Amino acid sequence: MNFLSIRYFLALSEKRNFTKTAIELYITQQTLSANIAALEKELGVILFTRTNPLQLTYGGEVFLKYAKELERLQSSMYDEFSDIADASKGILRIGIGHTRGQILIPLFLKEFNRIHPKTELHVLEGSNDELFQLLYEKKTDIIIARQTLQKPEIVCDDFYEEKLIMLIPDKLIDFHYPNEKKDRLEKLKSEVDFNLIEKCPFLLLSEGHFIRTIIDSLFINYNFHPKVLVEAENIHLLYEMCLSNLGITFFLESFLEKNIIDINQYFTNLGVHCIKLTNKSFRYLISIAYLKKTYQTIVMRDFIRLAKASLIFP
């Protein structure tokens, strides 16, 4: 039994078709069939029922578990010996959300490149669920994502706590509450009651977005029905609209520039009131995740260390 035959078997178990699998592997169908037949002879069982599409037999299902583990061990072995031979070479695949990647990765990319000048960083973008799927499928080495359910095969290393802030344009609240602006803002800072700003329009992320789900649940808690002026997929678009006095929006503290020391003063200069949402309902954990049984290379360990050292809001 060799690793190549195992690789062919795993590919065929996904495609369930000899022709399509052979094309994907850049080999002839005869070569693929010969390797599968050799495995079946060595194991003494039939691995596939030759139907269309192919079906794994019971023996095939059992072997699939071992084949995946052998593939993992092979990958870990090569990674470890690559470290021994030359830790500075290779590719590191990082999965991260589009906006979060724009903010976080530039913070430590220069230092990472200085330490590992021969390592290519491949950034794969996707939604939270897509990132975890990429990790399961071993198409990425590390992901930076919102921690969801605990999975025994995945290590979720706490990275930072994402915090929501509410941004209220001064001109907007002055227009709707000219004689009560100061009093309402003071009350909002002590307790976020959306009914204090019920006349103001809101700029919200589209329904189904995780942040929108958090906000909607809080609206329900306050029995509040917002006047939604704009819904959009892009949180930065809503942010720019807010700065143009079009409506109230919610933003992420980590998406602000790292060198901002006084957030309140920063937004005051922009003509916007920043309400920090201190309730735990407005927070969620971002993790650096990787597969537990996969060998953690020196490059991976350095990436994680540099990422944590660059935290915007520890």
Kindly give the confidence (pLDDT) of every residue in the chain, 314 residues in length, as a single tens digit, with 9 standing for 90 and above: 788 888 889 999 999 999 999 998 899 989 999 999 999 898 899 999 998 899 999 998 999 988 888 887 777 777 667 665 665 567 899 999 888 888 888 888 888 888 888 888 999 998 888 999 999 888 999 999 987 767 788 889 889 888 899 999 999 999 999 999 999 999 988 888 899 999 999 999 999 888 999 899 889 988 999 999 999 998 999 999 999 999 999 998 888 866 676 888 889 899 999 998 877 777 888 999 999 877 778 888 899 999 888 875 44
Domain of 29, in residue numbers: 3-83
Say which DSSP state 218 is in: H
Nearest to 156 by CA among 146, 166, 165: 146
Looking at the structure, do residues 43 and 108 belong to the same domain, yes or no?
no
Does any domain span residue 131? yes
Looking at the structure, do residues 252 and 231 belong to the same domain, yes or no?
yes
CATH number for the domain that contains residue 56: 1.10.10.10
Q: Are 111 and 304 in contact (CB under 8 A)?
A: no
Looking at the structure, do residues 107 and 62 belong to the same domain, yes or no?
no
Nearest to 144 by CA among 287, 313, 312, 297: 287
User: pLDDT value at position 83?
Assistant: 62
Looking at the 3D structure of the chain, how many domains does it have? 3
Q: Are 169 and 249 in contact (CB under 8 A)?
A: no
181-188 long-range contacts, CB within 8 A, separation 24+: 185/273, 188/275
Last residue of a domain, one of 58, 83, 108: 83
CATH number for the domain that contains residue 261: 3.40.190.10
Looking at the structure, do residues 125 and 191 belong to the same domain, yes or no?
no
Looking at the structure, do residues 110 and 221 belong to the same domain, yes or no?
no
Q: Are 54 and 12 in contact (CB under 8 A)?
A: yes
Half-sphere exposure of 192 (CA within 13 A, CB side): 20
Looking at the structure, do residues 166 and 279 belong to the same domain, yes or no?
yes
Looking at the structure, do residues 192 and 239 belong to the same domain, yes or no?
yes
Contacts of 303 (CB under 8 A, 6+ apart): 92, 94, 112, 142
Looking at the structure, do residues 154 and 62 belong to the same domain, yes or no?
no
Looking at the structure, do residues 198 and 262 belong to the same domain, yes or no?
yes
| 106 CB neighbour count, 10 Å cutoff | 11
Looking at the structure, do residues 272 and 185 belong to the same domain, yes or no?
yes
Contacts of 311 (CB under 8 A, 6+ apart): 159, 160
Residue count of the chain: 314
User: pLDDT value at position 313?
Assistant: 46
Last residue of a domain, one of 60, 83, 106: 83
Cα 128 from Cα 246, distance rounded (Å): 29
Q: Are 59 and 53 in contact (CB under 8 A)?
A: no
Looking at the structure, do residues 276 and 220 belong to the same domain, yes or no?
yes
Q: Are 160 and 307 in contact (CB under 8 A)?
A: no
Does any domain span residue 125? yes
Does any domain span residue 72? yes
End-to-end CA distance of the chain: 50
User: pLDDT value at position 247?
Assistant: 96
Looking at the structure, do residues 203 and 186 belong to the same domain, yes or no?
yes
Angle, CA of 144, 146 and 147, to the nearest 5°: 105
| Residues pairing with 252 in the sheet | 164
Does any domain span residue 314? no
Cα 271 from Cα 202, distance rounded (Å): 17
